[in-house]
Structure 1
Amino acid sequence: MTGFGRAVGEVEGLTVTVEMKSVNHRFSEISVRMSRQFLTIEDKIKKVISKSLHRGRIEVFISVEGDSLTDRTVRVDWSLLDQYMKALTDVKEKYSLSDTIKMDHLLKNEDVIHVEESANHSEHVEEKIIQVVQNATEQLVIMRNAEGEQLGKDLNIKLKQLLEHTEQLEQYAPSVVKHYHDKVHKRLQEFVSGTIDENRLIQEAAIFADKVDISEELIRIRSHIRQFSEALLQKGAVGRKLDFLVQELNREANTIGSKANDSEIAKIVVELKSIIEKLKEQVQNIE
C-alpha cells in the first residue's frame, strides 16, 4: 500500500500543488494538510481519495500559491489613535516636554495600524483543488499497482511453497499411525513373554490415529490456499480478506502442530508457519 502521487494545476493566477504518500495501515486513514481557508472542502477531498484508495495511511499535502489568493487592507483604529494622541499631548504638557510628537510615535504600534488579510478565491479554485487531488490520486494508484504486480508474484511463490509442504504432510501423516503401531508392538514384546493381544493393540492404534488425524486441517489449508490465490486475481480491495485467510492458515498450522506426535511433522509445521508469517507481513502491503 505504499506509493506517492503528485499533481499540479493552475487557476485564476494561482498554482495548486498536491502531493500524496501512502504507507501500510490495517484500515483507511486520510490526513489532509492545507491552508485553513480551504478546510471547508476537506470532506470532499477525502471522498475523492477514498473512492480509489480503501486501505492505508494516506497523507495529503496541498499548497495554493499566488498573489491573488488573499486581499490585503490597511486598517487604522482611529478611536485608539485619538487616545494615543491625547495621552502623548497630556504627557508633554504635564512635564513641560519640548519634544515634537511625530508620526512614528503613533503609527509604530500594531494595535493602531495593521494589515488585514481576507481569503479571495472563487468556487473555480476549489474545483481545481479537487481536480488536482484526483490527478495526484491516480498517480499514486499507478505506483501502487506496479508494486502490487511484483508483490503478487512473490505471494504466489510463497503459496506454491505452502502447497508443497502441505503435500508433504499428506504423504507422511498416514505413516505416523503405523510407526506408533510398530512402536507399541515392540514395547509389548519387551514386557510380555506370551502372546500379544492384537485386538487390544489395534484398538490402541485406532485411538491414537483419531487423536493425530490431521486430514481435516490439511483439507482446510488447501481450501485457504485456493481462496487466497483466487483473491489475488480479483479487482478491488482484497487486503482484509487475505488478512482473514492468513489467520485461518495459521490456526490450522497450530492445530496440526498440537496434534503432531512426530518429529518429522513438527519440522514441516515449523516451515509452514514460517511461510505463513511471511505471507502475513506481505498482506499488510495489499489494499
Structure 2
Amino acid sequence: MLRSMTGFGRAQCEGEWGSLAVEISSVNHRFQEVSVRLPREVAHAEHALQQRVRQAFRRGKAQLRVELRLALTAKSALVNEEVFEVYVRKINALRTSLDLPGEFRWESLLALPGVVGSAVDSQDTSDEAIQEALRSTLDDALAQWNAMRRTEGEHLEEDVRGHLRLFEERIDLIERRWPEMRDNAFRSMVERVTLLAVECGPLPDQGRLLQEMALLSDRWDIAEEISRSRSHLEKFRQILDGEEGSGKKLDFLLQEMNREINTIASKVADAELRWVAVEAKSDLERLREQIQNAE
C-alpha cells in the first residue's frame, strides 16, 4: 500500500488558558526533513514536537506550525512584589547614603528586570494543561495529515498498477516474439558468414564455425534480461502489496528494470522489438514519475 508524500492536516483546541491551532503540511523530498514554527510561549517544546512528527513518516519535507492565543487573563501583567520591594529598599538606601535630592518616580522601577511578568510567565509556560493540549492537538492534526496521504496514496497506487500492467504486457510480447526473431537472426548470420567464406576462400570447419556463431549469439541473447525483468516485476508487486509500500525501494527497482530494458533495446536488431522496448521504457518513466510522489 502506497502513501503519498504530500498532505495537509489541521486541528484546534480551546481551554481556559486560550486557544491552540496546529497545522502540518508536506511535499515531496528525497529524504526526511522537518521544520517547526512555534510561538515563543511553547518554543521549549520544539525538539519533542519535531521527534513526534519524524515518527509519523519516512521521507518527505514536512512543516509544522503552531498558533497559540492566550486568554486575556493569561496576558495580563503581574507585578512581582518581592522583587519590587528589594529594588525599593536598595534605592532608598542609596538615596540616604548619597543624600540624593528630589522625589523618586517609583513607577520607573517597573522597567527593571523581574519586576513585571505575564500571568503565563508566573505560572510557567510549560503548564501541563497547555502541554497536554499541544500533544493531543498535534495527534489530531497528524491523523488528518496521514488520512489525506493514504487517500492520495490509493489513487497513486491505482495509476502505478496500471502502468505496471502495461510494462508487463510489453515484456510478454518481447518474450513471445523473441524465439522466432532469434532463430531468424541466427540463420541470417549463418548465411552471411557462409557466403563471406565462399567469396573469400575455402569454407571453414562447420563445427568451429557454428561454435563461434553460438558464442556471438550469446552476446545478443536477451533471455536473462527477460527473466530478471519478470523477477523485478514480482518484487515490485510484493512491495506494493505490503502494509506500507516503500517509495525508496520501488525507485531502486525501477532503476534496475530500466537497466534491463535498455540492455534489451541495445541487443535486439529487430525494429519491431526495439519499438516495443521503447514503449516499455516509456511505461517505466511514467512509473518513476508516480513513485517519486510515494513515501
**If the TM-score is normalised by the length of the shorter chain, which range does it land in?**
0.7 to 0.9
- Tell me the equivalent position of 1:55: 59
| Change beyond 3 A, Cα 1:70–1:252 | farther
1:285 maps onto 2:293 in alignment: yes
User: Which of residues 2, 18, 25 in structure 1 aligns to 2:22?
Assistant: 18
Q: CA deviation at 1:188?
A: 3.6
Preserved CA contact (<8 Å) 1:18 1:62: yes
| Change beyond 3 A, Cα 1:204–1:53 | same
User: Which of residues 191, 195, 198 in structure 2 aligns to 1:189?
Assistant: 195
**Superposition RMSD in Å:** 3.4
Preserved CA contact (<8 Å) 2:239 2:245: no
Q: Summarize the alignment of residues 153-168 of structure 1 with structure 2, pairs less than 5 Å apart.
A: 153-168=158-173
Paired with 1:14 and 1:183, the residues of 2 have a C-alpha distance of 85
Paired with 1:224 and 1:69, the residues of 2 have a C-alpha distance of 61
> AA paired with 2:184?
K
Cα deviations by residue, 1:183-224 (Å, 9 ceiling, x for unpaired): 440464377269965435533431222111221121111111
Moved more, 66-75 or 231-240: 66-75
- Tell me the equivalent position of 1:34: 38
User: Which of residues 203, 214, 219 in structure 2 aligns to 1:211?
Assistant: 219
- Tell me the equivalent position of 2:239: 231
Q: Summarize the alignment of residues 1-287 of structure 1 with structure 2, pairs less than 5 Å apart.
A: 1-67=5-71, 68-70=73-75, 72-73=77-78, 117=118, 119=121, 120=123, 121=125, 122-174=127-179, 175-186=181-192, 188-189=194-195, 192=198, 198-287=206-295
> AA paired with 2:13?
G
**Secondary structure at 1:209 match in 2:** helix
Moved more, 198-207 or 69-78: 69-78
TM-score, normalised relative to structure 1: 0.79
Unaligned segments of structure 2, at least 5 residues: 96-100
| Change beyond 3 A, Cα 1:220–1:71 | farther
Preserved CA contact (<8 Å) 1:5 1:20: yes
**Secondary structure at 2:243 match in 1:** coil
> AA paired with 2:236?
F
Size of the aligned set, in residue pairs, is 272
Preserved CA contact (<8 Å) 1:231 1:238: yes
Q: CA deviation at 1:157?
A: 0.6
Q: Identity over the aligned pairs, expressed in percent?
A: 34
| Change beyond 3 A, Cα 1:274–1:69 | farther
Paired with 1:257 and 1:147, the residues of 2 have a C-alpha distance of 34
> AA paired with 1:167?
D
Q: CA deviation at 1:256?
A: 2.4
Cα deviations by residue, 1:98-150 (Å, 9 ceiling, x for unpaired): xxx9x9xx97xx889x9755635311201110110110000011111111111
Unaligned segments of structure 1, at least 5 residues: 84-88, 91-100
| Change beyond 3 A, Cα 1:274–1:251 | same
Q: CA deviation at 1:182?
A: 1.7
Paired with 2:13 and 2:135, the residues of 1 have a C-alpha distance of 10
> AA paired with 1:142?
A
Paired with 2:192 and 2:226, the residues of 1 have a C-alpha distance of 30
Paired with 2:147 and 2:138, the residues of 1 have a C-alpha distance of 14
Q: CA deviation at 1:5?
A: 0.4
> AA paired with 1:172?
R
> AA paired with 2:195?
Q
Paired with 2:75 and 2:224, the residues of 1 have a C-alpha distance of 70
The structure whose RCO (Cα within 8 Å, separation 6+) is larger is 2
